[in-house]
Amino acid sequence: MAVKYNTDFLGDVISKDEWKAMAPFTKEAFRMVKKGSGAGNDFLGWVSLPDDYDKEEFARIEAAAERIKGSCDIFVVLGIGGSYLGARAAIEFVKSPLYNNLKKDTPDVYFAGNNISPTALTELLSICEGKDICVNVISKSGTTTETAIAFRVFKKLLTDRYGVEGARSRIFATTDRARGTLKQYADECGFETFVVPDDVGGRFSVLTAVGLLPIAVAGIDIKELMRGASEARAAYSSENLFKNDVLKYAATRNILYRRGKSVEIMVGYEPYMLMLNEWWKQLYGESEGKENKGILPASVVFSTDLHSLGQYIQEGRRDLFETVLSVKNPGASFVIPEDDANVDGLNFLAGKELDEVNKTAMIATLFAHNDGGVPNNLIEISDRSPYSLGYLIYFFELACAVSGYLLGVNPFNQPGVESYKKNMFALLGKPGYEQEGKILRKRMK
Amino acid sequence: MAVKYNTDFLGDVISKDEWKAMAPFTKEAFRMVKKGSGAGNDFLGWVSLPDDYDKEEFARIEAAAERIKGSCDIFVVLGIGGSYLGARAAIEFVKSPLYNNLKKDTPDVYFAGNNISPTALTELLSICEGKDICVNVISKSGTTTETAIAFRVFKKLLTDRYGVEGARSRIFATTDRARGTLKQYADECGFETFVVPDDVGGRFSVLTAVGLLPIAVAGIDIKELMRGASEARAAYSSENLFKNDVLKYAATRNILYRRGKSVEIMVGYEPYMLMLNEWWKQLYGESEGKENKGILPASVVFSTDLHSLGQYIQEGRRDLFETVLSVKNPGASFVIPEDDANVDGLNFLAGKELDEVNKTAMIATLFAHNDGGVPNNLIEISDRSPYSLGYLIYFFELACAVSGYLLGVNPFNQPGVESYKKNMFALLGKPGYEQEGKILRKRMK
């Protein structure tokens, strides 16, 4: 098992009887996912994806990634939300948060089209000066404002620089299979296209072309990523909570929530986990935060944030629990040097692996936070390999669906995301929003 | 006023009478700060710092920054918590989150010694290969584990590369004025030293040498930063809540908290605000999160995170409020291009400034979240200048102290941060922790 769920640090808060009491419901929730009998059942494509993905398209993704690697210095990925976080999380987790700053034989990868910042766009264009570029635009409809604006800019840049023909071979569109303006336009222009499946929502899409193309361009073995997810699918098939860690984690979250623990803090002990935390926050926050309920997902990277949010977690309001993600094999060795001066008094650490100190800090913190009244889930992942990451992704996706059903919500919709968009279009004068515009402008006095 | 506090988007939740009812208490809390009559009053050095700082040292900081700029490609800053977040926040806010990737005539700035990650340290060393380096170690005592380990490594690197003499001119120690092993060692070795004042806690230290040296090396005018803070100090001198935005913000936070709004989400609309959010989270979380109380500080960058946490904020549990930070003058112009194909249907935006769309998204979201039951503070800052940032820093610091006293805590201590450290030292076998070590090892079975 590449992923192990450890409940030793929950403290004494959950008895075996409580998990037993939840078992019939996790079983039922899991059946809703497997049989498609719950709300949002037209978005269950991710369940079987690790085995049933489109092999022909997968081969095209691998081939496109090879061409991209050979033809550009910078790969610009345009997408927002689920069309952004998964790929970035995977590249940082498997490669590095400093991926773009390290020497390597794969292109730099920059993510844009995920904000409306004039400075961010201006700066990225300056970074692209004198570099060869390929672009991946990711949008199911093609009309997502942030992504579409950035695509206008980069399409023009590529056409100006490489001509229509040249741009054609450098633009890749990940979009709807058949409908949508972007699909139509991409076909007209001759861009290679990849599919955002109809039955996979954005936050569950990292193992589709949405995530796979940028991940492959960064030199990560996407076959291994899928293999990990597939083995996780097989491993997490039992309907018995005591034999299926996915169900146990989902149950634990709901037990803690009902007990007033309304904030879950995802904890990493490596800077390369920061964006994985962000991916997880969208997955859980967007799936469960509705109907005035849901656990608020937050995140930290320790030991860094032990020196910022550590005080709050140790002694603040007791409505928190943590889920700690620990990578067993750090993949790097660093021995703490002896220092004759011993100014810092740390020679008792000399000769130790830095990772041993890091892991000790983790155990120390698990005890400290437990003693402070904060239950801790501990999720142990074998290493930073794409295989293990694929395994973990599937663990979190499946647990999210089960947990959402346990909470009594549709884990696959996101009705609240439209509210700001509607207001924005109205205030920007988008055709069709005239009435809303009038009302809002009145509220602004 | 470089900073304006706008309460128009709180919704109808707070009446003028409620603020009136708080006014005597904000007055008293402010007096406790000014007179030093409250708990933690030996840590009030930051109050008068913008005017009463050490001018001789300030000139030395500016001179050292010039020398560093002229003698290295990479400036490595070693520090954690308050010895890390302020400088990084300022550099990203005034310059860019992509500062290290942009062309410029100042050194790259990398922050290390803020984690225990072997991969992070290994990668930074690989980035430093073949580059000229200067190092700033920031630690009051010199014994902070994360920072001290990194300092061992970089001190050795510099000595190996430049010899003892060469390293001497490239290492800068920001530490205690007189005591502490690092101060003593730095003097012995002949490193230039700067002061972490006794009466300024880490999270309030960005306007001391702790923050100022790295900020100056990045080419930011630190005189302007101090001038902004100084003018804020003068502007926020009234004891009347209705004439002092600092008191009004502090009162509002406490009113909302008592009403069950236990999470404050700091919202930026530019990627360059991400680390400022982190600085703010330490400031407020560490000051208020104690005695089982305090508002949990969280953060997002919109519109990016409207596509991840937006759903939760719009429709999840209603124990949230937001504080939106808006920069009036974006400092960059970007006009949305016309596109003949108009695939995205966004030609109605063609010719508009991107910043106008960004600001409209903000107004749209303020209304949407208000309608969803989330009160919003709006803090408007004139621009990204160091002057305005200095102003904002002082606003937040003063409001934090007042808010902490209103909550009934000592805003200047952080007793909970020691818990994990004590366990860690015990488990690592640090001399003097033998007994704790035994107990903990027993708990591990």
Are B320 and B263 in contact by the 8 Å Cβ rule? The answer is yes
Per-residue pLDDT tens listing for chain B (445 residues): 899 999 999 987 799 999 999 999 999 999 999 999 999 999 999 999 999 999 999 999 999 999 999 999 999 999 999 999 999 999 999 999 999 999 999 999 999 999 999 999 999 999 999 999 999 999 999 999 999 999 999 999 999 999 999 999 999 999 999 998 999 999 999 999 999 999 999 999 999 999 999 999 999 999 999 999 999 999 999 999 999 999 999 999 999 999 999 999 999 999 999 999 999 999 999 999 999 999 999 999 999 999 999 999 999 999 999 999 999 999 999 999 999 999 999 999 999 999 999 999 999 999 999 999 999 999 999 999 999 999 999 999 999 999 999 999 999 999 999 999 999 999 999 999 999 999 999 988 7
Which residues of chain B are within 8 Å of residue A100 when distances are taken between CB atoms? 101
pLDDT in the model for residue B162: 98
Alpha helices in A292-415 (DSSP H): 310-315, 354-371, 386-407
Could you give phi then psi for residue A19, rounded to 5 degrees?
A: -65, -40
- Give the integer Cα–Cα distance in Å for B247 and B158: 48
State which residue of chain B sits closest to A307, comparing Cα positions: B81
C-alpha B210/C-alpha B349 separation (Å) is 44
Provide the ipTM.
Answer: 0.98
CB–CB of B358 and A303 under 8 A? no
pLDDT confidence of residue B444: 85
Q: Phi and psi of A37, rounded to 5°?
A: -100, 5
Catalytically annotated residues of A: 286, 307, 421
* pLDDT above 90 coverage of chain A, percent: 97
Instruction: Return the number of other C-beta atoms located less than 10 Å from residue A140's C-beta.
Output: 25
CA distance A333 to A355: 7
Q: How far apart are alpha carbons B28 and B35 in whole angstroms?
A: 10
Tell me the average pLDDT across A121-134. Answer: 98
pLDDT at B374: 97
Q: Determine the straight-line distance between the first and last CA of chain A, rounded to whole angstroms.
A: 60
In this prediction, residue B187 carries a pLDDT of: 96
With beta carbons less than 8 A apart as the criterion, state whether A323 and A266 touch: yes
A303 three-class SS: coil
Rounded Cα distance between A387 and A384, Å, is: 8
Structure tokens at B66: 């010039």
Give which of B204, B178, B206, B207 is closest to B193, Cα–Cα: B178
Q: Mapping DSSP to helix (H, G, I), strand (E, B) and coil, where does residue B28 land?
A: helix
Q: What is the mean pLDDT of chain A?
A: 97
Residue A72 bridge partners (DSSP): none
pLDDT, residue A13, reads 80
Assess whether pLDDT exceeds 90 at residue A171. yes
Distance CA B60, CA B65 (A): 8
> Using a CB-CB distance cutoff of 8 angstroms, which residues of chain B are in contact with residue A145?
344, 346, 357
Which residue type is seen at B22?
M
At A66, list the tokens.
């090879």
Report residue A342 as tokens: 């011993």
- What 3-state class would DSSP assign to B61? helix
Which strands sit side by side in the sheet containing A376-381, from one edge to the other?
Answer: A3-6, A376-381, A320-327, A263-268, A296-301
- The number of angstroms, rounded, from the C-alpha of A101 to the middle of its chain's C-alpha atoms is 22
- Which residue of B102, B104, B116 to mutate against A (max A Cβ within 10 Å)? B116
Q: What percent of chain A has pLDDT over 70?
A: 100
Task: Give, to the nearest 10 degrees, the angle between helix A222-235 and helix A209-217.
Answer: 130
Interchain CB contact of B60 with A (< 8 Å)? no
Query: In this predicted structure, what is the pLDDT of residue A354?
Result: 97
Pair A40, A412: CB distance under 8 Å? yes
Q: What is the pLDDT of residue B233?
A: 98
**Choice among A92-96, A114-118, A339-343, B245-249 with the minimum mean pLDDT:** A339-343
CA distance B305 to chain A (A): 7
Contact A215, A200 (CB under 8 A): no
Higher pLDDT, B445 or A357: A357
pLDDT, mean of residues A55-70: 98
Which candidate, B443, B289, B81, places its Cα nearest to that of A363? B443
The pLDDT of residue B13: 79
E strand or H helix at B413, and its extent? Answer: none
Pull the structure tokens for residue A204. Answer: 């569950």
Q: Which residues are within 8 A (CB) of B178 and not within 5 positions of it... i.e. 6 or more apart?
A: none
Which positions 377-436 of B are in contact with A (Cβ < 8 Å)? 414-417, 419-424, 426-431
Pick from A141, A192, A412: nearest CA to A287: A412
* pLDDT attached to residue B304: 97
Q: Do A115 and B145 touch (CB under 8 A)?
A: no
C-alpha distances out from residue B97 to B105, B159, B204, B305, Å: 16, 31, 22, 17
Give the Cα separation of B249 and B280 in Å (integer). 14
Give the other-Cβ count within 10 Å of B422's Cβ: 16
What is the distance between the alpha carbons of residues A290 and B318, in angstroms, rounded to a whole number?
10
